[in-house]
Amino acid sequence: MAYCGGSISLPESLVDKLRGARSIAVLTGSGVSAESGVPTFREAQTGLWERYDPHELATPEAYQRDPKLVWEWYSWRRELVERAAPNPGHAALAELERNLIGGFVLITQNVDGLHRRAGSQHVLELHGNIMRSLCPIEEVIVEPSKDDDSIPPSCPGCGAFLRPDVVWFGEALPAGPLEEAFRAARGCDLFISAGTSGLVHPAASLPFEALRSGAVLVEINPNDTPLTRHADYALRGRAGEALPKLVAATFGEDRKESLGR
Q: Which residues bind ligand OAD (CB under 6 A)?
A: 29-31, 34-35, 40-43, 58, 109, 127, 167, 195-197, 199-200, 220-223, 225, 238-240
**What are the backbone angles phi and psi of residue 124, rounded to the nearest 5°?**
-95, 105
- Pick the closer one to ligand OAD by CB: 174 or 187: 174
Residue 111 Cβ vs ligand OAD, minimum distance, rounded to whole Å: 7
Whats the size of the chain, residue-wise?
261
Contacts with 121 (C-beta within 8 Å, 6 or more apart), sequence order = 97
Q: Which position among 90, 115, 122, 127 bears the catalytic label? A: 127
Task: Report how far residue 229's alpha carbon sits from residue 209's, in angstroms, rounded to the nearest whole number.
Answer: 15
Residue 40 Cβ vs ligand OAD, minimum distance, rounded to whole Å: 3
Strands (E), 50-137: 103-108, 123-125, 128-135
When CB distances to ligand OAD are compared, the closest residue is 31
Residue 237 Cβ vs ligand OAD, minimum distance, rounded to whole Å: 7
- Pick the closer one to ligand OAD by CB: 113 or 240: 240
Establish whether 99 is an annotated binding residue: no
Task: Report how far residue 41's alpha carbon sits from residue 22's, in angstroms, rounded to the nearest whole number.
Answer: 33
Inter-residue contact 33 to 114 (CB < 8 Å): yes
- Pick the closer one to ligand OAD by CB: 185 or 220: 220
**What are the backbone angles phi and psi of residue 77, rounded to the nearest 5°?**
-70, -35
Q: Is 127 a catalytic residue?
A: yes
Establish whether 74 is an annotated binding residue: yes
Residues forming the active site = 127
